[in-house]
Chain A
């Protein structure tokens, strides 16, 4: 069996912030009517996390559950466990009009960490990233320069970003430019209450 590697094979860069392609990450997309009990149950069981509200992402020990749209959820779990969890999901769903698909190899995931993380992300995404507006626990699908991406915060200095695997190199390059040494904007740091 061939060795599975992620899009950029754990590439990393240190500039204003630390940028890491964090390697293989299990991801399962679940589409269906999110008000159905079965769909809710499948999502929470597979991710181990509580059911998220609108635009929320909830985290568990072994995964996370993200609200992607009114009829779509994203389940994050260890890469090796995807097929097991997916099989259980499909079985539980049965004839329910919903679809669970393994998208792990279709996506790339990045970690952006450091004090200037909000500034770096704000250079690329048309999103209000003020600490009082965008907080850990919220996931925002938006654009990163010219590509679609979903971003959320693990804590106050750590962003996570998901994009399509085919544009992983672009995402990495554009993040490196935004985090180039000497390009500090110092905007969000100045907003913090002293």
Chain B
């Protein structure tokens, strides 16, 4: 069924610029899982950095462009919980495109939830013999509910873990604070620099003290921040987007 669907790949602007390998891994992974994927070349940004800074009203043009770019796809998939959440919940209403906007908000998915909930893949064959620490991005975690939240009284689940744990040899490392924020927070990383960096250092310490080899996650923005701090302090940790791990393990 799904292989007949037309899937639009949405690569967040900073991933396009700084992490092309994450885009490539996402595309190759979806192709390996039997999807027909294309990347509309006219795409730009979802508008989140501006909206979270308090300028949602100035992102109507950006939002309109996003809707037009992706209107003909059956699904939109992105390797970012944060950007997907923005499109779903915070993009301003575009006058005249209300129905397109409603459709877009209901056909856009973060990569892991697309694999578990839409493709309904229940077995992934591959090997990845490493100790992996998972950084749950808050927008994926508490925004899109990609995993149960430690604050809520609910049955535990985690879509990323569901996928990663199928890989041979992968050791999923339990952290002391499994869903604490890393301190990236968009413009917060700059406007509250001291706090942002301290929060990042604390997250890294949690992974290090549990002997994590590779930190992974569903949002490169958090990873960029954590990796930036680790590099500066010469901390021996590797960083990969979950798409890179899955794509590498399956091949």
- Determine if chain A interacts with chain B: no
